[in-house]
Amino acid sequence: MESGDGSTRIRVPLPNRKVNEMFAIADQMLGGRRVRAICEDGEVRISRIPGKMRRRQWVREEDLIVVQPWEYQDDRANVITRYSKTQAMYLSRKGQLPSIVDVFGSGEESIEIGDESGIFETSSEVNEIEPEEEEDVDDMFSSDDSDEEKTSEIEPIAEPTRVRHDDFEDDDDGDIDSFFG
């Protein structure tokens, strides 16, 4: 729905903290209407998808969901609702998601992903690249080869010999006729 100033508003239901609902990320589908979820309190819970929700909203891995932990078994929970990617990005931009479940990358803090190769360095970390010294490597496409090497590599190709078909005796195909009668 668009408001008068042109900005887009998305209505997103938030977890009800009074009944102990919290954000979680669906980590792994376990089968049998069960999903392993990483909750905002740091716990990993086996969550049950109710039949009413299973038929209407399909929960996939890496989805943002709301879970309600069981009162009598803390490592289990019920899935209350699932957010679409658009809704999850909206919550991330607005700063509603805790850092442990904000995998959508639009929050205030940037998540440090392992960058061993140095491809994604920031401008303050960029080092001057020094030109490497050229090494003498034999390359089949290089143009710096001397003429002596070129002449020694070229071998003369023999012309193919022609086969004359006149040398074969013309059979009457008598052996084939014996098969047919």
Q: pLDDT digits over 5-61, tens only?
A: 546 676 788 888 899 999 999 999 998 899 999 999 999 999 999 887 777 778 888
CATH of the domain at 32: 2.40.50.140
CA distance 15 to 98: 12
CB-based contact 105:88 (threshold 8 Å): no
CB atoms within 10 A of CB 101: 21
Say if 41 falls within a structural domain.
yes
Q: Structural domain tally of the chain? A: 1
Of 117, 118, 120, the closest CA to residue 105 belongs to: 120
pTM higher than the cut 0.85: no
For 69-113, the pLDDT digits (tens) are 999 998 999 999 999 888 888 888 888 888 888 877 654 444 444
pLDDT for position 108: 47
Domain with 64 in it:
17-90
DSSP 12: -
CB atoms within 10 A of CB 103: 15
